[in-house]
Every structure is written in C-alpha cells, then in structure tokens.
Amino acid sequence: MSVMPFSLSSPKSKSDSSGVEVLIRAMMKKHRTPLMIIRRSVLEKQYQRFRKTLPEVTPYYAIKANPHPLVLKTFIKLGACFDVASAAEMKQVLDLGAHPSKIIFANTIKSEEDITFARRRGVRLMTFDNEPELYKFAKFYSGAHVLVRIKVANEGSVVELSLKFGVDSDQAFYLLRKAKSLGLVPMGVSFHVGSQSKNVENYLQALEITSGIFKEARENDLPLKIVDIGGGFPIQHFDDEVGVNFERMATQIRREIKAHFDKQVKFIAEPGRFLVGPAGVLVTQVAGRTFRNNKNYYYLNDGVYADFSGMVFDHCRYEFKTLRRGQKFLSALAGPTCDSFDTLSLNEEIPELYVGDVVYVKNIGAYSCASATAGFNGFAPAKVILV
C-alpha cells in the first residue's frame, strides 16, 4: 500500500458533505482511485472530544482499528496511550515513539514470545481472563501488572465480544489473588461491552459489577487501582442515523463512576472506531456498469476484499454517496473481483452513474484498510493519504 502525506485543510462549507466533496475533487486531481483519505483534523477533534467528554477516563487508542503509521504518529503527538494485541503491534507503536508506560497489552491470550517481548521492551500493563495465562506470566514476566477481564453484557452491540473473552465475575477475585501469589501485581479489572455499542446499560451494569469486585478485593487486603472500561463507543455511519449520542452516554458513565468508585481509582478505555472512524473517507470510481435484475448495476474499483472489508469482519453498513446529482434509481453496487461475494449493496437509491463517476463513503476510517487483503485477484487496496 502506498502512502503519501498531504497538507490540505478541509474547506469550510455549510455541511460536512459539501466540504468532503471539495476535498475529494482536489485529491482526484493528484491521485488515482481508490483513495482512503484520513483527515488529521478529525483525528484530533475526536481525541479531544473524548478527553473533554470523559475527563476521568484516559483513552488508549486500539490500534487494530487503523494501524497506519501516519495515524499512529498523529496520536503520539497528541500524547495518546495505546492498546495493542500482539508484539508486532507493540513494536510498531514503540518504534514510532510511544512510551512503554503508555501501552496496555490487552489481548487476554498471549504467546510466550510476545510476553517475553513485552518484558524486554518494558510494557508492564496487560490483561488476562484465565488461570493458565497467569502461569505464563509468572514464568516469562514476573512482576507484570495485570487486569482481570470479566464477561459482561453485550446487548445491542454490533459485534459481541463476550462470546470469546472474559471470566465470570464471581471468579475475578480468585484470579487476582492467584496472580499475587505467583509474583504478579494485580492492578484491577477490565471489560468490553462489544463493538459499536449503542446501549449504555452495558457500561453501567459492568461498572456496578466491577465495583463489587473492587469491594471484595479491598475487604481481603488486595486493593485495586485501575478500571479498564474497554471500547465499543459508537459513531454515526449515516448522516441521519439515530441512537448515537456519545455525550449523553458519557454523562451516564461519569455518573456511575462517581457513584461507585473512590477518586483514587484510575480509569482507562480502549476506543478505536470512535477515534479514527469519522476521519476516513473512501473514494472509489465506477469501473463498469450494466442493467441486471431490473436495476442499474455498478462495479466499483474497491470491494469487500479491500477497503470495504469492514462489511464482512466488522458487520458494518455504510452510506454510499455520489458526486453526480439527479433523479435516483434503485441500483446495485459491487466490487471489482471475480467473486459474487464481493457485492456491496443490492438496493441503493442513487443517480444514474457512468464509468469514471465517483462513489464515496464517509466514516470509514476504522476496520477498513486495516483488514484489507494485500491484493486478492490482483486488486490493490486504496492509497492512504493523510490531509
């Protein structure tokens, strides 16, 4: 994937869409599509928005959402912390300048090699959710700081993560006590309510359960210091989407924190999509067209094997927009590969398009280029440009 930093501010306009379209036209004078445009100003805005709205909670950017070096450098300059899932992710962000103390190794299952790498590079904070993992820590990283991850409700989340991770909460204290007996440093509790979670009750219930674990630990002379509330904070993928209000959700989370925890407790989170999703704009063009099944059928030069991979791996739906105006018709959109699975939508209401016309998607900065294949069928993913 080729990379090109570019300095251009998004033009001021009456709406974000009109500003985005001016930006797209400017980029297309210099670059071929497909293009993934990442707006630095939006990365900064989302980071500051999180810090302002949840001031008690330190964000650790989940780099799996978009590990592009230009994205990581932007967050490093902002002073961000990072959530990594492997030694490779850890090495990437450390080599770019992040400090080991600002990293959490949050994959609950780690290889012996990755644990050793974390020890050698000075990354101490990590999560676990089972006893066998503690024995690996004891052998390869004595003195590691650990958070037990508990299973919590994921109701209403697009991707449910408690199916694979998290110990039952009634076992949490036992595992923390076991960690201490093995020479580790039990620091607290982590949880994750699932990806793109619009149901704030998941967070509130998880915080209440966590406060009970903190109380049990305190009463047994094992005081805890950190609560990791995970990620899952939702964003709007459609302009008129309802039910997404981060500020309202944050207000309720803050109220729950103040009601159940001492001021000395440190809170962290692992936002990924929230920080990088709104910054991304994917620009594609029509490579071919036909009339099939009584509708216009358009083939784009990007698809589910590349930057629309979030439709598969993230269960995401996107709002397709065009630069062309006019009467709208029921249409289908497909990717460029020779696989019928590479179909984006069968029921889009869009103007009639011609070869070369632009179809673009906003709010696609997360779980898109990050999970794109290197070049299935010979079609390369979009060029990433930071503006």
Give the integer Cα–Cα distance in Å for 206 and 49. Answer: 23
∠ CA 307-20-326, nearest 5°, is: 95
- Length of the chain measured in residues: 387
Q: At what angle do helices 112-121 and 87-95 cross, to 10 degrees?
A: 20
Joined together, the tokens standing for residue 106 give 């949050």
Using alpha carbons only, give the angle 198, 201, 202 rounded to the nearest 5 degrees. 80
| Whether 338 is catalytic | yes
Q: How crowded is residue 104: how many other Cβ atoms within 10 Å of its Cβ?
A: 23
Instruction: Report in angstroms the alpha-carbon separations of 104 from 69, 81, 153, 163.
Output: 18, 8, 23, 22
Q: Measure the CA–CA gap between 22 and 282, rounded to whole angstroms.
A: 14
Nearest by Cα to 277 from 320, 228, 232: 232
Catalytically annotated residue among 81, 316, 338, 369: 338
For residue 97, what is the DSSP state? Answer: T
Distance CA 159, CA 156 (A): 9
**Residues 56, 267 contacting (CB under 8 angstroms):** yes
Element (H, E) at 266: strand 266-269
Contact 199, 156 (CB under 8 A): yes
- DSSP states along 1-21: --EEE---PPPP-SSHHHHHH
Q: DSSP for 68-86?
A: -HHHHHHHHHTT-EEEESS
Residues 6+ positions from 145 with CB-CB distance below 8 Å: 124, 125, 126, 184, 185, 187
Q: Active-site residue numbers? A: 338
